[in-house]
Structure 1
């Protein structure tokens, strides 16, 4: 009689037999797959990072201490592309720092494996990296300028606040000043204001902005240079800045004469104490047109002026002096002229650029209380220049304090 226990024993026996058969089959398949040998793996690369770049990436990581590793391969584009890099068996460091270049702009999935001489490989390391190129560069926009205004011989630039999410990290600006010196300036992203000194009217500056597309980028990307010719803003009343005694100083010499603020000088006018203007501390900070006294050199076509951009209208330009000893043997004029500069002293009376002028001399000034008045009319918004030009008779000593300049519109 077959009992329940016998049935259970029979079922268990059948089950165990089946397991043994399957086990043998699996072992046979494994042996077939490995051809009877053991699967060998080399040590995989560790702590791998990928850094983006311009048509390239940088891989950084740590090689295994496995002495069998002789090279590693990096695959991408579904293993359609790869590069093989040898490993120095006598390496002193396990760090790798590898550039892979000549890559098209794209996002890449990289696979990295180490190998020994028998082509046994490590298990793979997968990571993703991005490559930037012309498409990204064409999307970059130079940092906008809200205003670039010419004021005297300086340019005041107001930048729009930088959009830091764009990856911008710098702006670079270049210009050549009146002395022919090339100037390069780095503008931080958190700065919005800049002043260019000693700027030549009608000249230009150029600038570009630099970007890093992400925090891992090994390359910096720049926009093309934009060229800007600063404009002279429309001048508002009282039109002439720093226009009366005591004149403000922009460059103190520490001696008698200093350079006034807001006024443009040509080189011939900056002769006091070597290279300063003519604001005279001994005459209450008047603008003293001095030559000869105290060893001051001759003035030869010296120009002192301000540039204005005036709306259409009729204007009266007035200069008040305090006497002096310039005479008709010298050439000194106060005037208004079209454009960004005053005519040379020998051309003032005949130049088509001259709007109006007055010859300055002791005899002329004493007859009108040393007040020189000129009038001119503009039919449209126009850039003009007001100031004075002087050349003394060679070797003579001259002085003429100027107390004020004024411009009014009818």
Structure 2
């Protein structure tokens, strides 16, 4: 047993002696006597996403030996070479990469010198590329659906369109309409603009709109919605005027009532459907036809479009009438 221990001790000592005699730079034999050099790395990387493409930017390395950069992706199966046009760190070098899929990529940037020495990689992760899936998620900017427009004149060619606040990624909304010269016209409104007035709109035609978006402020491309929406039918609305504001006006030569209970204000007393005497307006018949009377509507209106007439329940209803107005 003692003899075995002695033999093991001797072997260990020999190994230690041999280990101590190895030269510290013998690894150079594996490098063919050449020193390994690592060119400088890039800094301040950023990504500009786009439509099935993107652009990577970085500040170049100040290392003057660098002649080009190579960007790798897809598990290093794809790459693109970019010449080192500058070594000034305040400059920016770009790599535009086309024909990508709608996906989130990871890129690696290496610096190379003329001898092919390569730097350690700089990783750029979460680099998103956009496409049809993103476009399909976009909606046109909402309009004020409860009050989408105001017609501003009787001709209907001046109209104010009303929008709501859009998504923060919206950059513009294009409005298409037919003008009074029968030409299709386009105008664009910014996200901060909630109203726009058209002064040459052809009444009776449609107004369409389509919104555009950028997924980020650095995006190379804008994306239009897949759908073009239209405003509700543009037409003058029918709004019942408040009859409680109406009053009689007795001008010279106006027809007079048959009696005090059949005055002209019976025409707007709130009764529903045809009425019978004496709940009607009945003239005294002292003057030949046509008769005329005057009333005050109590406020100014820019358009009077519809007049509803309910006749007497039996007889003596007018067959023709005209309405004249003055402000």
TM-score where L is the length of structure 2: 0.62
Give the alignment of 1:253-402 within 5 angstroms.
308=305, 314-315=308-309, 373=322
CA distance in 1, matches of 2:172, 2:37: 52
User: How many angstroms apart in 1 are the aligned matches of 2:74 and 2:20?
Assistant: 40
| Alignment equivalent of 2:63, drawn from 27, 47, 66 | 66
CA distance in 2, matches of 1:314, 1:94: 76
| 1:44 and 2:44 are equivalent in the alignment | no
Q: Partner of 1:373: helix, strand, or coil? A: coil
CA contact (8 A) 1:150 1:232 kept: no
Q: TM-score, normalised by structure 1?
A: 0.51
* CA RMSD of superposed structures (Å): 3.7
Gaps of 5+ in 1: 1-10, 240-304, 317-356, 359-371, 375-401, 406-410
How many pairs does the alignment contain? 243
Structure 1 residue aligned with 2:6: none
1:102 & 1:31 partners in 2: Cα distance? Answer: 44
Find the residue that maps to 1:54 and give its secondary structure. Answer: coil
Larger radius of gyration: 2
Once the 2 structures are TM-superposed, how far is the Cα of residue 77 of structure 1 from its aligned partner?
1.1
Q: CA deviation at 1:172?
A: 1.9
Q: Does the residue aligned with 1:219 lie in a helix, a strand or coil? A: coil
Shift of 1:82: 0.8
Report the secondary structure of 1:209's partner residue: strand
- CA contact under 8 A between 2:180 and 2:201: conserved in structure 1? yes
2:141 to 101, 119, 143: 143
404 and 227 in structure 1: CA distance in 2 versus 1, 3 angstrom threshold: same
Give the Cα–Cα distance (whole angstroms) in 1 for the partners of residues 107 and 16 of structure 2: 44
Secondary structure of residue in 1 paired with 2:104: strand
Matched residue, 2:163: 159
Q: Which residue of 2 aligns with 1:108?
A: 105
Asked if 2 retains the 8 angstrom alpha-carbon contact of 1:148 and 1:155, the reply is no
What are the superposed Cα offsets for residues 346-397 of structure 1, whole Å, 9 maximum, x if unpaired?
A: xxxxxxxxxxx98xxxxxxxxxxxxx527xxxxxxxxxxxxxxxxxxxxxxx
Q: Could you tell me how far 1:33 is from its partner in structure 2?
A: 4.2
Pick from 199, 209, 212 the counterpart of residue 210 of structure 1. 212
Distance 1:177 1:21 in 2: 94
Secondary structure class of the residue paired with 2:322: strand
Larger relative strand fraction: 1
Unaligned runs of 5+ in 2: 1-8, 243-301, 311-318
Q: CA deviation at 1:19?
A: 9.3
Matches within 5 A, 1:19-38: 21=19, 24=22, 27-28=25-26, 30-38=27-35
1:214-237 Cα deviation digits (max 9, x unpaired) = 233222212143234533264112
**What residue number does 2:118 align with?**
121
Deviation at 1:47, TM superposition (A): 2.1
Q: Which residue of 2 aligns with 1:98?
A: 95
